[in-house]
Amino acid sequence: MDLLFTLLATVVALGLLVTIHEYGHFWVARRCGVKVLRFSIGFGSALCRWHDKRGTEFVIAAIPLGGYVKMLDEREGPVDEAELDQTFNRKDVKKRIAIVAAGPIANFLLAILAFWLVAVIGITTLAPVLGPVEPGSVAARAGLVQGLEIVEVDGAETRSWHDVNLQLIRRLGETGQMQVMAIDGPGATPQSYTLVLSDWLRGADQPDPIAALGLASWRPEVPPLLGEISPDGAAEAAGLRSGDLIVSIDGEPVNNWLDQVVPAIQASPGEPLEIGIERDGQPMLLTVTPQSREQGGEISGFVGAGVAAFEWPEHMVRSIDYNPLVAIPFAAAKTWDMTVLTLDSLKKMLTGLVSAKNLSGPITIAKVAGASAKSGPESFLNFIAYLSISLGVLNLLPIPVLDGGHLVYYTAEWIRGKPLSERIQAWGLQVGLTLIVGVMLFAIYNDISRLG
């Protein structure tokens, strides 16, 4: 069932992104007077097809990993003389640039829409209040201590741990100073802390910026009282029930779900654990063997049991939402910030500051799609926005085969007053194909390595 849900979430996400991208090309092509022969979502055999009144064939194909808009073009076959004025190749170079650029622009507009919806719907999150700070760490040397709330990183407001993490990612591989503003309780005056970085996490595989600084989030003491038990999970198979209070694991007393029970279970995939419980005031011993799953690139254990509901302190909870008008500039600014971050990350990969092993392919995309969809509409919308930005940036890279490569050719034609020679364009096509195939294979290799 989980696999089916993940596949469905992936198809929905990729299908939406590809449809919006190709519709951008299609919409502008129509307005520039170019005849569109086919609008295809996916590749391979057609699952269904239909035609509109202008004769364009719309196709939904079997392999949902891309799509294309086929336009009337003399370079791809003979064209009736009556339709020559509708061919792509005969349009003014500025119109061709507009048509090609429309696909990536549509992806950025989709990201703005997704961020806008998240801002209007609103999210409930936790304030970035520090838990124990690792002695001798970068954060400890800067003077950060448990209980402080991070309110700014390098001048950018941080209202959640997600905001903190995004700001830290910007500094991966760098040397220099990072400025952090923190408060010691609600209403306190912010204090500045200077963190000194030296080739920070340079070339690290799957870096964890927060932990690398020696930071951890503050967590309340949560009694290990079981709530929901998943059907057919390890906990149910062992006889655990909702309402059981865990008092020991392998003979060691426990009294905190987050700090003791969860780490013990995660560290024991496939290994039996002796769980001491109290049920209706009576002590019992049960043996539970956690199942295995991949999490954060590592194998960890889980038993299919959740803790009973508990409440976080009121000052720790943040409700973040915007009215529809204010949400527009917020969404546009966030799209711009994420675009800049994506480009900066690509530059750091090329220069070795960030490991190329962080490049992800379709397997990772599918896993994240499924996980974000399970987490709720806000998480899935954020995932759609981030992926749409990545697709827009990727397509604008000046690589032949991609939209960015075509834009380079047409810009050169605009400047020169004539197209580049067919030999140069053919050579660029071969180089571009080789590069794209190589990057795709490397990304898939990274995905498989993470699974291994």
| Helix or strand (DSSP H, E) at 167 | helix 161-169
| Helix or strand (DSSP H, E) at 9 | helix 2-31
Which residue out of 22, 149, 152, 378 is catalytically annotated? 22
Residues 321 and 22: their CA atoms lie apart, in Å, by 31
CB atoms within 10 A of CB 221: 10
Pairing relationship of beta strands 282-288 and 305-307 according to DSSP bridges: unpaired
Is-catalytic flag, 22?
Answer: yes
Residues 173 and 194: their CA atoms lie apart, in Å, by 17
| Helix or strand (DSSP H, E) at 142 | helix 138-142
Angle, alpha carbons 250-255-258 (nearest 5°): 95
Angle, alpha carbons 188-193-198 (nearest 5°): 155
Query: Please, are residues 446 and 205 in contact by the beta-carbon 8 Å criterion?
Result: no
- Candidates 108, 159, 157; CA nearest to 321 is 159
Query: Please, are residues 181 and 190 in contact by the beta-carbon 8 Å criterion?
Result: yes
Residues 253 and 365: their CA atoms lie apart, in Å, by 40
Quickly list H helices, 71-127.
93-121
Residues 409 and 419: their CA atoms lie apart, in Å, by 7
Residues with catalytic annotation? 22
